[in-house]
Amino acid sequence: MERSNFVDQIRIFCRSGHGGAGCKHFMRTKFNAMAGPDGGDGGRGAHNCTGRFGKDIIIEVPLGTIARDEETGEKEVEILEHGQEVIWIKGGRGGLGNAHFATPTNQAPEHAQPGEPGVEGWKVLELKVLADVGLVGFPNAGKSTLLSVITAAKPKIADYAFTTLTPQLGMVEYRQGRSFCIADLPGIIEGAAEGKGLGHRFLRHIERNPVLLFLIPADSNDHKKEFEILVNELEQYNPELLHKKFVIAISKSDMLDDELKAAIEKELPKNIPHIFISSVMQQGLTPLKDLLWKALNE
């Protein structure tokens, strides 16, 4: 299998620094041996008049990354904007020195705070691809070929299942200098919601696509059933995916005559827009862009 440097999920152990303890100290001068408490504060862990702060560790991640706590599954951070910075694992706060505890009745406090402990635990970083349109279909439906002809992306294309093992992104140039992003996602199979095939690694990438383009090849044995299987897998994984906008494209349509197209149209859902295309013959691609742009901007 061809190796890829694409990583969309990783498990890491994180530990932030402990806060420094506050200092208990009394100032002495040449003329005053008891000039009062002047103990400094401890520094923030990972960030003594005041203790030195620990050094921050910055993890750069691609847009669309989610950080979760492995034990609870709770989402702690989500990066959706370029340049966004979030303090994820806070260092322990430094303790206060004894200078903070001086009062009129206790001018020589012997107390200083200890630093707070840091935080540690196993975390999971997970990438969900950000794209306007997600390509959904069985392996070998023609998704990679379509992406290669309507964008500048160059995905691997071959005549066997699971050619696409990682998401591929491309920008579609539209009219008047406008554009939108489309993602070719690893092919889905029946049972993907239960983890079969590429399973959840595929399905989570479509959660952020507002429009889903279902690609069904013209030579499918049952176009209606194929579409229903795809929709069922989405529903089993996350029912909210059914609220997205759907578009159906029948690929490899250069092998169809008008009579066969009419027969296929009768099988397709009436409430979902559809189009016949051929990526190889460059047929129906401009109307497809129009259909996707309309779905994105309705």
Q: How confident is the model at residue 46 (pLDDT cuts 50, 70, 90)?
A: very low
Helix (H, G, I), strand (E, B) or coil at 293: helix
Specify the residue for token string 């932030």. 16
Most confident of 84-88, 177-181, 291-295: 291-295
* Residue pLDDT, tens place only, 8-20: 678 888 887 776 6
Architecture of domain 133-297: 3-Layer(aba) Sandwich (3.40)
* Residue pLDDT, tens place only, 250-283: 999 998 999 999 999 998 999 999 999 999 899 9
Three-state SS annotation for 43-110? CCCCCCCCCCCCCCCCCCCCCCEEEEECCCCCEEEECCCCCCCCCCCCCCCCCCCHHHHCECCECCCC
Selected from 2.70.210.12, 3.40.50.970, 3.40.710.10, 3.20.20.140, the CATH number assigned to the domain covering 1-127 reads 2.70.210.12
- Nearest Cα to Cα of residue 156 among 187, 200, 195: 187
* Residue pLDDT, tens place only, 59-109: 888 777 888 888 888 888 888 888 888 888 887 777 777 677 777 777 777
Token pair of 12 as six digits: 């890491």
* Residue pLDDT, tens place only, 183-196: 887 656 555 445 44
| pLDDT (mean) for 167-182 | 86
The number of residues in the chain equals: 298
Q: How confident is the model at residue 2 (pLDDT cuts 50, 70, 90)?
A: very low
Q: How confident is the model at residue 114 (pLDDT cuts 50, 70, 90)?
A: confident
Q: Where are the domains of the chain?
A: 1-127, 133-297
